[in-house]
Amino acid sequence: MKIKVLLFSLLLLATFSTYADVKGYQKILGLWEFSAPTAPQPYDTGTLNLKEVEKKLTGEFTIDGQTIEIPGVNYNEGMLTLKFEVENTDITLELKVQDGLMEGGTDTPNGRVMVKAKPVKNK
């Protein structure tokens, strides 16, 4: 009987842990408008689309009408990390998610680029 209770408890804990992880990034899914004033044009403005595909967080940028897939998307405890490539340069962008906004930056060969993003409101 103790083993059944223990197994049930572990199963319940695993279920809640999985739900918490999925639930964690649910609040950032959707379309975000970003600005990076110190980035070279056209990379200074665009959109970030975060979505769930096969129970995995994925994303893509749209910049000047062109789509850039983001192969590395990770969200953990309020930090969104995006790993992608721009003009043969690997970029790791770290954004803190707080109060419905994102803010952070990345180091590039041309210096630090700061990025801010806000959700696009549905009309």
Which CATH number does the domain housing residue 84 bear?
2.40.128.120
- Tell me: pLDDT of 76 over 70: yes
In a domain, 56, yes or no: yes
Alpha-carbon dihedral sign for residues 37, 102, 73, 53: negative
Whole-model pTM: value is 0.79
Based on the structure, what is the number of domains in the chain?
Answer: 1
Q: Quick one: average pLDDT of 5-29? A: 55
Q: Quick one: average pLDDT of 95-109? A: 95
- Tell me: pLDDT of 22 over 80: no
Q: How does 66-77 read in b/e, with b if 16+ C-beta sit within 10 Å?
A: eebebeebebee
- Please provide the average confidence, as pLDDT, over all residues in the chain: 85
> For the sheet containing 72-76, what is the strand order?
66-70, 56-63, 45-53, 30-35, 111-119, 101-108, 89-98, 79-86, 72-76
In a domain, 5, yes or no: no
Q: Can you give the residue range of the structural domain that contains 106?
A: 27-119
Poorest-confidence range of 8-12, 46-50, 54-58? 8-12
Bigger pLDDT: 87 vs 8: 87
